[in-house]
Structure 1
């Protein structure tokens, strides 16, 4: 073996070892504890030390919530790409391409159909990893598709929100998704079907101003940041210091903005009970 091959082998071995060590541990974003990645993932990405609920994507949500982890992912509607030919430091088309490569998803909202406690349900999940879960034409179209799938299945629509707000690269077109979602929800209610929202960290901006706060029942995960404008902007506007925990799930519950704060481990059971109350049709055969 030549000296160059030996050096390459040593570098490869060192890099692989470093990567495996990094993958072995997860550092909690709240308390800073180092937790075995497997332990953290087995705990549904909730810190076993401080109970911090980390962000999770659609696949993890569906696996945890649907009976036996069985479900069908619904097709993502095809929409116009980069309708405004937007460019900042990067072209919008390049940002979309990078987000798709990173997450393996077409856009920031994914729907799936399956059973919760034996009853059919359609669940939509916004993925913050996809451009901050931002609401654009694709998200609006996916939301409407999820509602229509729920109506067709005579099932509730359950939405997990996580977003920084409207997608600025689509300008006014992103804001048009707000009334579009509201009209879709009117059709869901006309069909006599419930709309349940689970607010996760973070849910802000135009998403909070529209479909995130229109649920028949509003749930939230512990510690989730929920609001419209940022805390600093509000403080500068009203020229007052905001109270401790402002815009967190527990504060909103205390002040009547949401109905309940539910630990991630208890979500499946709580949603199953809510579906039983709000859509008490006969359970489907397993």
Structure 2
């Protein structure tokens, strides 16, 4: 009887060995931060990084975004080799820039270029939040202005996808001046009767939301995107009021007239194509 007691198999849970853990490839599975669903990363990527369970829009890299929008083989990148300097000798800033360059394979927080969307020629800029949280420093502002000038010279519609934490503190007032610089360039585009479509993605905050991102002829956003200038806690402490639960979301801004439309990622390319076609027909009708 005692022998039988010791011969029984234990039913305790075992802790996987380090070797077993290593057999599961890193990045194989992804977890949705909204509904907590677990899914294969490849399946998530096939669905343009949109959760199949709840529709949550995961972040896209700049190049992933361009691949979902620009017709195959038509994208030509501008100003890829522009890199930021350290004008204020800010501690560790050059090291952080170098780290982000290696991590993202980008030289700055925005990719700009030209191509076609369903045959319609455009110039396009896409911010990438992986690089310094998409903050707008001197190079980001300069690349946007150069892109706007291209739109004017080549008479192409301008599309900008914002994803940013705001101005880049390591460049101080030089970063803040990019707000005025990009806004002034957009005013020139407006005088030339050029079309500007602004698309705000998660997150679009600070100096970016307060400048070029809010100046589109069409202001669009992805579902659930955080859009605002100051943080929620700061606003509540300032006005001493509790803000609505959906405050600073794309849906809240749409409800209060600050957006033209909230567009699902799967519908973004077709929506942009319709807008571009509409304006091409308008230009043909007026002979411009």
TM-score, with length taken from structure 2 = 0.89
Q: Kindly state the Cα deviation for residue 152 of structure 1 after the two structures are TM-superposed.
A: 2.4
Q: Kindly state the Cα deviation for residue 68 of structure 1 after the two structures are TM-superposed.
A: 2.9
- Aligned counterparts of 1:130 and 1:279: Cα–Cα separation in 2: 35
Q: Kindly state the Cα deviation for residue 188 of structure 1 after the two structures are TM-superposed.
A: 1.4
Relative to structure 1, the CA distance from residue 201 to residue 69 in structure 2 (aligned partners, 3 Å threshold; closer, same or farther) is farther
Show the counterpart of 1:196.
197
* Equivalent residues, number: 267
Give yes or no for the alignment of 1:179 onto 2:180.
yes
Show the counterpart of 2:13.
none
- The match for 2:68 among 57, 64, 69 is 64
Q: Which has the higher contact order (CA 8 A, sep 6+)?
A: 1
SS of residue paired to 2:23: helix
Deviations 1:175-234 (A, max 9, x none): 010111011112212222111000000000111111110001000000000000011111
1:209-224 aligned at under 5 Å gives the runs 209-224=210-225
- Aligned counterparts of 1:77 and 1:190: Cα–Cα separation in 2: 30
- Aligned counterparts of 2:53 and 2:277: Cα–Cα separation in 1: 33
- Aligned counterparts of 2:226 and 2:27: Cα–Cα separation in 1: 27
Relative to structure 1, the CA distance from residue 250 to residue 80 in structure 2 (aligned partners, 3 Å threshold; closer, same or farther) is closer
Structure 2: unaligned runs, 5 residues or longer:
1-16
Aligned-pair Cα RMSD in Å: 1.7
TM-score, with length taken from structure 1 = 0.89
- Aligned counterparts of 1:46 and 1:94: Cα–Cα separation in 2: 33
Q: Which has the larger radius of gyration?
A: 2
Q: Kindly state the Cα deviation for residue 14 of structure 1 after the two structures are TM-superposed.
A: 5.0
Maintained 8 Å contact 1:162/1:199:
yes
SS of residue paired to 1:67: coil
Give yes or no for the alignment of 1:73 onto 2:77.
yes
Give yes or no for the alignment of 1:144 onto 2:145.
yes
Q: Kindly state the Cα deviation for residue 110 of structure 1 after the two structures are TM-superposed.
A: 0.8
1:1-286 aligned at under 5 Å gives the runs 14=20, 16-18=22-24, 20=25, 22-68=26-72, 70-76=74-80, 78=82, 81-87=85-91, 91-280=92-281
- Aligned counterparts of 1:36 and 1:130: Cα–Cα separation in 2: 25
SS of residue paired to 1:189: helix
Structure 1: unaligned runs, 5 residues or longer:
1-9
